[in-house]
Every structure is written in structure tokens, then in C-alpha cells.
Chain A
Amino acid sequence: MDLEKIFKPDTIAVIGVSLTNEAHPANVIYNKNRLRYEAKTFAVNPRGGHIRADTLYRSVKEIPEKIDLAVIAVKAELVLPVVEECINSGVKGAIIVSGGFAETGLRDLQDRLTSRAREAQFPFIGPNCLGVYAAPWMDTFFIPNERMVRPEKGRVTMISQSGGVVVDQMVKATAEGVGLSTAVSIGNKALIKESDLLRYFAGDPGTDVITFYIEGFGKHEGREFALAAAECKKPIIVLKAGKTSAGNKAVSSHTASMAGDYQVFSAVMAQKGVVEATDEFELMAFAESLSCYPMNISGKIAIITGSGGHGALCTDACIAHGLEVPSLNEETQLGVKEVLSPTLKHIASYANPVDLTGSSTDDDFLAATRVLSKSPEIDCIILLLLPYIPGITVDLGAKLGMVQQQEKKPIIAYVPHVEKYKIIVEGFNLYNIPVAHSVEDAVHMAEAMRRNKPC
């Protein structure tokens, strides 16, 4: 099935727009798309009439233009006839926002809907979902426009079984400066499942990284997903809920007893090069890192710091996450020493972490970063940048960005995320360098590259 028009519709019909209830989900969706987004949007209600100055069409058939996408927010029992009409009118696909299907026990109603759509090759997302957020094109989330927290446009696509979780991820992405391409809430995933979306976004030119929030897979869905993941060249990140199994199955073999549902999930994800995050913060760190560096590293980290304590904390975190902080060879150490300010040469430490001390300046950070970027002993640099060091200026982020662009070695920066230092973060962001809000977060970013599949 072709999903193109679900994510890039030229025309949208919102079905179920109310004449009397402005808070109805269909109205919220219609209003924001009609007023704020680029796709041409029409409202449908069988009673007809007008909503503000616009015509309220009695059916999709009545709309004078060809409709690409139907957003359906009518009562559950009316969904199937509406879908039937969409199929007959040549609509290319639907987002079914309405609830009241399998999640309330009406599996039969959902199955009838799904088998009709499958028969007609009519793709739909949902039911019981928020649908698709793809600014500036469209947004079917039934959240009033003024309540939305919108990340910058970027290259990460987020797919979630839960609408609430994906909205929360958008808030976090905004806070962390992670750019969003598309967000999809798939709800009951009656027809379009994670593996279908993975295949679609693997080929989407606007997406570099795909993240998933997964609650559970149906029969063999996990296998489909794993096979799709193995073919996808882009980094994939998953966050799994429901890791603890409810009740122990009685099993009489060692294998069945040791291969629990979550253990299998986690092992298969790693086997296929999918990066599994342990929580939503890690997911965001992984997304930020892999959208800047969609690559695989072996995990040999050099740490450059202005504070010995931060260097030690970072080393511990690296080891705990399966990364190495190798001692630098003598030649590299001398190479760094040579380029530092004269006052620093005898107080800095060089072994790794490279501690430039509180007496360091922008130039020392730049020079040390350049030398380490050229060293084949390491494959990633974590910069612990403490902007209260007197010799450091607000320009350092952008200056280091330039070094990264020339030397190509992945750099991850830690800068305390407070308003005062924001300009440094922005300097890094300008050069597409991920900036962590804690030392641990910086280590997660490096770990993401180690666990990402070789590209």
C-alpha cells in the first residue's frame, strides 16, 4: 500500500466537524489545518451548512477537489460507512482518530474495518490515534494549536503507539533542540503497523533517524519489524514499555524459561542493529546524537575537560556504558602539549581525560580538539565545556563546530543548559554538533553511535 498521501497530502477532508461543539476533535483538527498549515483542508458533516465562511460539505463526494487524505473523527459505528465512501470517492488514505474499537473490546468492529480497507488497498492509520504531525504541511493531533510545543523542523521521525508519549517526546525534543521531521501516533495499529512505517520512512528523503515507542507486537509483528530494520540504512531507536511480564508462564524447558518476551525483544533489536533506549531521556539523547552522526563507532572516547572532576565522572559513565577511555600514546600526548598556551603546558594532564584546567582558554580547547581529531586512537571526542572558566568565551561553540566540520571526527559537547549559556549551545547547534545537558547524557550520545548498526 502506498502511504505517500497520508504523510504528504495536497488535500485533506476532516470528517465529523461539528456545527455546535468547537472543542470536538474534528473541529480542533480542521481549524488548525485550515488556518495554519499548507495542505488544503475541507470540512465534512452530513448535515452540511457553513463553518465560519467555509462550506461544510455533506460528504467527501461533494468536495469539488480530489481528496488525498481523510481524517475521520466520527463515532466508531459510523467509521466503516465513512471509509466505504472514501474508498468509492478515490481518497488515497485515512487517519482514523475515533476510538471505540479493539481498545474497548470491540475487536469485531475493528476487524471488519481492517479487512474492508485491506481488500480495497486503502491505507489508514489508527483507529484510536492522534495521527500525523508533519509541519508545516499538516497536523492531525487534536490538541489546540496554542497548546502545542513545536520542535524545530528537522530530520528525526518519531513513531509511537501512544499519542500521549509522542506529544511528550515533542516537548522534550524542543527542549533539547532535536529537529523533528514527522511524528506519528498509530493507536490500535489495525492495518498500518510499525514495520510498514519503518519501510516507508526508510525511503523518506526528509527523515534521517527513526524512533519508535513500542508497547507490544502482535503475532509475528516483531519478526516483520526486525526484518524491515535489518534492511533499513538509517539509524533506528526503540523504547519499549511493558518489559516486565505479568505472571510467569509454566514452562518445562530451560530455553523457554530463559527466553522471556522482553529478553527476546531486546536481543533481536540488538541483533538487527536497532538501538534500544532504556527511558525517554535516553531516547532523546540517542536521537540527537544519531541525527548529527548517523554512523557506527567502536567506542574509543577521548575526553577534553576544563575540570578534573567532570573528567573523572565522565570516565566512570563511559565505562559503565561499555565505552573505552584509552590512555593516549605518548606521541599524541606530546602533540597536545605542544599546542597549548605556555602557562598551561605544565599544569594540564594529557593521558585521557585531557584536563585543560580552569586556566584554559578558547584557543587551548580548539588546539587540543584539533590534535585529538587527527588521532586514529580514538573515534569520538566528548568535550566537557564549563562556561564559567574565565578564559572561555561565548564563541567557543561555533569555533569548535568549525573544527569538527574540517576534521570530521564526531564531537559531543556538554554545556550546562541554562539561559545564560544558551548562546554557546546555539553555536554548536549551528554546526550540527549534539549538545548534552549532563555528563551522563553526553555519554549516552556516544553510546548510541557504538550501538548503531554499521552503515
Chain B
Amino acid sequence: MLTKEMEDLLKSAQTYGWVMEPFAKRLFALAGMNVPQFVWAHSPEEAISFTRTYGYPVVMKIVSPQVVHKTDVGGVSVGIDDDARLTNTFNRMSTISGFSGVIVEKMVKGLEMIIGSTHDEQFGPVILLGLGGTTAEIYRDISLAMAPLCEADVEKMIRGLKAAPLLEGYRGSEKINREALKELVIKFSEFIMDFGETMESIDLNPVMCSADGCVIADARIMVRK
């Protein structure tokens, strides 16, 4: 069931047709899914104060109701490791249209996966799992299935990926925590079932998968206006 806070977060999106990253992350955190430590900073000082607690390196991402694809406008900067770069990056992003602050968060490492969902006209809520990142649409290495999902469904989806051997630790890279990935996909599918038709599509992309677990590094929720 969606809680009151979750519903309020979704209502905030009605105006733009989508949920901005800080709200989306809060929503998934409330639903029990892993997101990195982050702060929504409106000044360089706020950003710096975050690093005093969590340390460097960090990622900075634009928050703007006008920017759906952040990398397209130079709105994502990774590997920031000192105060000077942090301040410079903040100042540069503050000129991007619709600027409403930035997200500063801990760098998370791992294999970039995408977990997504759409509300299909014929089949209702459908879940996508695939190789993620900005090139997801070029490689199109994905599996699809109708929600809700059971563990066997998710296992089949993973095996259906060309990238499946990467998850097993390919040529010396570390094996990812498959159980954590399955758990996340199942939790996500349950969340989607509660969501209903207000959701048009969701991208959790990238989800950083490593031996330690799976963390939603970015999330975008498109809602019906």
C-alpha cells in the first residue's frame, strides 16, 4: 500500500508529468529499496557540508523540472573529490534551465543495470530488467515480464540477458549479489502493482549492482498528466 507521504510525493509530479529525482529517491527509500546517501543542496555550502559527513568522492546531479535527461545538458558530474571542484560544478549547473538545486550523493560502484516498468495497454504493469546506463537503448539487452513477479520469473529474466555472464563475474570482475538483485526486482514489482495506472513508466537507471548489493543510483517516474 502507498502511504500518505508516498501519495503526496506523487501528487507533486502532476504538474510536470514526472517525478524529480530527489522525490523519486525518497519514494523508493520509503518503499524499502536501497538508494545512496544524498542531499538536495541549494548552495555550495550545503553540498560541502554533506561531504564533511560522508566524505569524497561524490556525484553531483542537476535538479530541474525542465530536465528529464540530465546527461544531455551536462547535468551529471561524477568523481568530484574536493571542495573547489564541488563549488565550480555547482556554479556551472546553476545556469542550467529550471535549476532547482542539485543532488549530491556518494559514488556507488558496480555493474550498471536498468530496472523499469510501464503500464502496457494490453498487459497492464510490465517490468523490464536489462543492462543499464546511458547506452541501454543502444544495446537493448533486456528482459520483459508481466507484474507481479515471482522469484522464478526474475531468475528467467536474468538468464535471458546476453549480459548474464557479467553478473557471474566475467574475467576476474566480481560476482554481483544475485539474491539482492532478485529481491529488488520483486520489491519493485510489488510497488508497481500498488501504483496503478497513474504511472506511465519508471526507469531505475542505473541500478549499481555489486557483491555488496544493489543501489538505485538514479530514478525517474513518468506519471499520467
Interface residues of A (CB under 8 A from B): 216-223, 226, 251-259, 261, 263-265, 267-268, 271-272
Contacts A223-B146, A271-B153; A258 near B122 (Cβ below 8 A): no
Of the listed stretches B57-65, B175-183, B196-204, chain A binds B196-204
Is B126 an interface residue, CB under 8 A from the partner?
yes
> Of the candidates A255, A268, A272, which one forms a contact with B202 in the assembled complex, judged by CB atoms under 8 Å apart?
A255
Interface size on B, residues (CB 8 A): 32
Measured CB to CB, the closest approach of chain A to B153, in angstroms, equals: 6
Closest to B142 in A: A258
- 13 A-B pairs besides A220-B123, A253-B200, A268-B146 with CB distance below 8 A are A220-B121, A220-B122, A220-B124, A222-B123, A255-B128, A258-B130, A258-B140, A259-B126, A264-B123, A265-B123, A267-B143, A268-B144, A268-B145
Question: Is B120 within 8 A of A264, CB to CB?
Answer: yes
Measured CB to CB, the closest approach of chain B to A85, in angstroms, equals: 35
Measured CB to CB, the closest approach of chain B to A242, in angstroms, equals: 11
Chain B 104-129, CB-CB to A under 8 Å as 1, else 0, gives 00000000001011101111101010
Q: Return chain B residues, CB-CB under 8 Å to A217.
A: 122-123
Closest to B122 in A: A222
Taken together as a complex, chains A and B put the C-alpha atoms of A256 and B156 apart, in Å, by 21
Taken together as a complex, chains A and B put the C-alpha atoms of A264 and B203 apart, in Å, by 16
Measured CB to CB, the closest approach of chain A to B21, in angstroms, equals: 13
- Chain B, interface SS category: strand
Q: Return chain B residues, CB-CB under 8 Å to A255.
A: 114, 116-118, 128, 201-203
Contacts A253-B201, A253-B202, A268-B126; A258 near B136 (Cβ below 8 A): yes
Closest to A257 in B: B137
Q: List 9 A-B contacts (CB under 8 A).
A: A222-B120, A226-B123, A254-B203, A255-B114, A255-B118, A259-B120, A261-B120, A264-B146, A271-B146
Closest to B133 in A: A254
Q: Return chain A residues, CB-CB under 8 Å to B137.
A: 254, 257-258
Taken together as a complex, chains A and B put the C-alpha atoms of A263 and B120 apart, in Å, by 11
Question: Is B116 within 8 A of A264, CB to CB?
Answer: no
Q: Max chain A CB contacts within 10 Å: which of B137, B146, B153?
A: B146
Closest to A271 in B: B145
Measured CB to CB, the closest approach of chain B to A325, in angstroms, equals: 21
Measured CB to CB, the closest approach of chain B to A90, in angstroms, equals: 36
> Of the candidates B68, B114, B122, B222, which one forms a contact with A264 in the assembled complex, judged by CB atoms under 8 Å apart?
B122
> Of the candidates B122, B126, B130, which one forms a contact with A221 in the assembled complex, judged by CB atoms under 8 Å apart?
B122
Q: Which of B68-88 contact A (CB under 8 A)?
A: 68-69
Measured CB to CB, the closest approach of chain B to A251, in angstroms, equals: 7
Is B189 an interface residue, CB under 8 A from the partner?
no
Q: Which of B188-210 contact A (CB under 8 A)?
A: 200-203, 205
Interface residues of B (CB under 8 A from A): 18, 68-69, 114, 116-118, 120-124, 126, 128, 130, 136-137, 140, 142-146, 153, 156, 200-203, 205, 220, 222
Q: Return chain B residues, CB-CB under 8 Å to A221.
A: 122
Taken together as a complex, chains A and B put the C-alpha atoms of A226 and B120 apart, in Å, by 13
Measured CB to CB, the closest approach of chain B to A451, in angstroms, equals: 12
Measured CB to CB, the closest approach of chain B to A155, in angstroms, equals: 29
Q: Return chain A residues, CB-CB under 8 Å to B144.
A: 259, 263-264, 267-268
Q: Return chain A residues, CB-CB under 8 Å to B117.
A: 255
Q: Return chain A residues, CB-CB under 8 Å to B201.
A: 251, 253, 255-256
Closest to A222 in B: B122
Question: Is A252 within 8 A of B128, CB to CB?
Answer: no
Taken together as a complex, chains A and B put the C-alpha atoms of A176 and B20 apart, in Å, by 58
Q: Return chain B residues, CB-CB under 8 Å to A223.
A: 122-124, 146
Contacts A226-B146, A264-B144, A268-B145; A256 near B222 (Cβ below 8 A): yes
Question: Is B122 within 8 A of A267, CB to CB?
Answer: no
Contacts A253-B220, A267-B144, A271-B145; A218 near B126 (Cβ below 8 A): no
Closest to B202 in A: A255
Taken together as a complex, chains A and B put the C-alpha atoms of A189 and B77 apart, in Å, by 54
The 9 closest A-B pairs by CB, nearest first: A255-B116, A222-B122, A267-B144, A256-B201, A217-B122, A222-B123, A253-B201, A223-B124, A268-B146
Question: Is B120 within 8 A of A253, CB to CB?
Answer: no
Q: Return chain A residues, CB-CB under 8 Å to B153.
A: 271
Question: Is B205 within 8 A of A267, CB to CB?
Answer: no
Q: Return chain A residues, CB-CB under 8 Å to B69.
A: 252
> Of the candidates A218, A222, A256, A272, which one forms a contact with B118 in the assembled complex, judged by CB atoms under 8 Å apart?
A256
Taken together as a complex, chains A and B put the C-alpha atoms of A257 and B128 apart, in Å, by 11
Q: Return chain B residues, CB-CB under 8 Å to A268.
A: 123, 126, 144-146
Taken together as a complex, chains A and B put the C-alpha atoms of A257 and B202 apart, in Å, by 11
Q: Return chain A residues, CB-CB under 8 Å to B68.
A: 252
Contacts A220-B124, A222-B123; A253 near B146 (Cβ below 8 A): no
Closest to A219 in B: B121
Q: Return chain B residues, CB-CB under 8 Å to A261.
A: 120-122
Measured CB to CB, the closest approach of chain B to A252, in angstroms, equals: 5
Taken together as a complex, chains A and B put the C-alpha atoms of A256 and B144 apart, in Å, by 11
Closest to B119 in A: A256
Measured CB to CB, the closest approach of chain B to A387, in angstroms, equals: 41
Q: Return chain A residues, CB-CB under 8 Å to B205.
A: 254
Q: Return chain A residues, CB-CB under 8 Å to B128.
A: 255, 258-259
Q: Return chain B residues, CB-CB under 8 Å to A271.
A: 145-146, 153, 156
Closest to B136 in A: A254
Taken together as a complex, chains A and B put the C-alpha atoms of A257 and B118 apart, in Å, by 10
Taken together as a complex, chains A and B put the C-alpha atoms of A265 and B18 apart, in Å, by 26
Closest to A252 in B: B68
Question: Is B122 within 8 A of A265, CB to CB?
Answer: yes
Closest to B134 in A: A254
Taken together as a complex, chains A and B put the C-alpha atoms of A218 and B124 apart, in Å, by 11
Question: Is A253 within 8 A of B123, CB to CB?
Answer: no
Taken together as a complex, chains A and B put the C-alpha atoms of A271 and B200 apart, in Å, by 22
